[in-house]
Amino acid sequence: MAPLFIMDYVPGCILASQRKLLATYAAPVARSVACLAAMILLVLCSLPMPATGAELPPTLHGAQRVMIEVARATTPPLRDLARLNSSPRWLWQPRTIPLGRVPLLIAPEQFDPVLQRGRLPASATKQGLDFEGIGAGLPGFFVEGIPPDPNLSVGATQIVEWVNLSFAVFDKTTGVLVMEPVDGNALWSALGGQCAADNDGDPIVKYDQLAGRWLMSQLAVTGGPPFYQCIAVSKTSDATGSYNVYAYRMPDFNDYPKVAVWPDAYYLSFNMFDALGNYLQPEACAMDRAAMLAGASAPIECFSPGSSYFGLLPSDLDGSTPPPTGSPDYFVSYDVNSLDLWRFHANFANPANATFSGPINIPVAPFTPACDGGHCIPQPDSSVRLDSLADRLMYRLAYRNFGDHESLVADHSIKVSKPVRVPSAVRWYEIRDPGGAPVVFQQGTYAPNERARWMGSVAMDKLGDLAVGYSESSATMHPSIAYASRLASDPLGGLRAETLAFRGRGSQLEKRRLCKKQCYRWGDYSAMAIDPADDCTFWYVNEYLARSGNYNWHTRIVSFKFPGCS
């Protein structure tokens, strides 16, 4: 018997036919007619929402910009660099990591037809290893910047966690440190120049399970222009070994870089700003993966869809089954009550033959970004309202090829106005057939009570079971770490009762001189990863505070799986 999901679905589907249906049936007539209308509307909103329009999306032919690294090198083993390149802690200066704010498309507050509330079936997951990550709870570590940008990836035997402004390596079986935290820029010390000198964060770490290599990325932008993107690819599956490292000079401030693994390239996205902080455009780029794995010169090909778009995420492969041969990488962002999808075909042999097509507009249930994209997340015993980062999709855009279908999963933070007011809830999507006629196969807004949920990250295991991790807070609950999940066999659009993975014990406080009037910064992202060893175990990292204050964040790494997946 399928589990029972009690949901508050309210009128508000965005399709014109559904609005007409609402107008027809929801007038103040007999109660039975109104109830019938709501039931019909619920069925319509539960149906997959296909992309609109029959015309082919526009295609850009030929990379708009091709960049060659300004420097490349091969490093000594990282385990040796770690002992030599940590900054003297008496030179510590608190930093607030810059974040460019992208233009926000705000739809009026609307009813949410996929809102999930009320009584939920129990979680079907079993929690595994749970341990302290980088942060104030790690002996000898000093928090240097806010926010932490916590992210991780999982390899054959190791976990690499990277935060602003350090990374560390843990044993996957025990959670014990294999390599203590080291400054991020130490990885590029063999290059010299700005990537070696600047430790500017916005880090991403990925494990390329197709090659058994680690992929690392961070910014070098202090005092820019010039601005740089720093890339490293390990020579083996050992994260503490040697790396092929690269420095790329960017034309503008390359904010919020997000990196993804695909068979033909490493793809990445940026929000581009000028030196004064004015938003310019998003950029979608492809790095020559084969060349980087070999330590050879590796060009980057880039396209931009224009300044009217923002916050693109590249599709990131989960599982050992690659996409169909010749598949493009997919880039997705959100629009007004919809998602936009692009297809990127890199061509490093002849960049003039690279293509970037889209957007394909995919209707979704209506939404309004949480906090209007700003900071309104409540916490107890503090005047600070935390940042929602609801002006963009949250990292990652996880892709999986199930054989009979392909899926992308994504999430972002939205506000709930009716039937209750919730400052932030997690809206999540599963998109199917991204290479054909993309459709939202299922979607949901998770708000089982009035607490704020935000800063999510979502992924699926090899069976199609799904989990989304997030921060959770309220006026009476310190910011904590939680996740909600669903079996592939559960009713579409529903998540089960959440698991509180780790309860926070403090709130972020106002210290304007210390954090330059940005004490609200939180995130700017978290990370849900799938263990490549079994393709079943979820690993999640996010931040919390053990006591109220500032520049005292902790991170927690938790794992769990569905017992039916093995």
DSSP string, 88-134: PGGG---EE---PPPP---PPP---TTEE-S--PPP--EEEEEEE-S
Structural domains in the chain, sorted by start: 48-561 (2.130.10.10)
Cβ proximity of 461 and 125 under 8 Å? no
Q: What is the pLDDT of residue 16?
A: 31
- Token readout for 59 is 């295609």
- What number of other Cβ atoms are within 10 A of residue 460's Cβ? 24
Average pLDDT per 10 consecutive residues for the chain, totaling 566 residues: 44 33 31 40 55 68 95 95 54 73 78 90 96 94 93 98 96 97 95 96 97 98 96 98 98 97 98 95 98 98 96 97 97 97 98 97 96 96 96 98 98 90 97 98 97 98 98 98 98 97 97 79 97 98 97 97 97
In terms of Cβ atoms closer than 10 Å to its own Cβ (0-12, 13-18, 19+), residue 393 is buried
Phi, psi of 22 (to 5 degrees): -60, -45
Instruction: Fill in the amino acid letter for 34.
Output: A
Output the pTM of the full model: 0.92
Residue 194: name the closest of 224, 220, 232 by CA: 220
In terms of Cβ atoms closer than 10 Å to its own Cβ (0-12, 13-18, 19+), residue 530 is buried
Q: What is the pLDDT of residue 310?
A: 93
Residues with Cβ < 8 Å from 462, sequence gap 6 or more? 319, 400, 535, 536, 565
Cβ proximity of 360 and 278 under 8 Å? no
Kindly report the length of the chain.
566
Cβ proximity of 116 and 420 under 8 Å? no
Cα–Cα distance measured from residue 242 to residue 214, given in angstroms and rounded to the nearest whole number: 10
Secondary structure class of 512 (helix, strand, coil) = helix
DSSP string, 29-90: S-HHHHHHHHHHHHHHHHS-EEPS-SSPPPEEES-SEEE--SEEEEPSPHHHHHHH-PPPGG
- What number of other Cβ atoms are within 10 A of residue 372's Cβ? 15
Cα–Cα distance measured from residue 216 to residue 60, given in angstroms and rounded to the nearest whole number: 29
Cβ proximity of 357 and 343 under 8 Å? yes
Chain-centroid distance, C-alpha 239? 22
Q: What is the pLDDT of residue 41?
A: 43
- What number of other Cβ atoms are within 10 A of residue 345's Cβ? 18
Q: What is the 3-class SS of 148-177, one letter each residue?
A: CCCEEEECCCEEEEEECCEEEEEECCCCCE
Residue 215: name the closest of 303, 149, 272, 155 by CA: 155
Q: How large is the C-alpha radius of gyration of the chain? A: 23
Cα–Cα distance measured from residue 21 to residue 41, given in angstroms and rounded to the nearest whole number: 8
Q: What is the pLDDT of residue 468?
A: 98
Cα–Cα distance measured from residue 280 to residue 272, given in angstroms and rounded to the nearest whole number: 5
Chain-centroid distance, C-alpha 227? 23
Burial 183-206 (b: 16+ CB within 10 A, else e): bbbbbbbbbebbbbbbbbbbbbbb
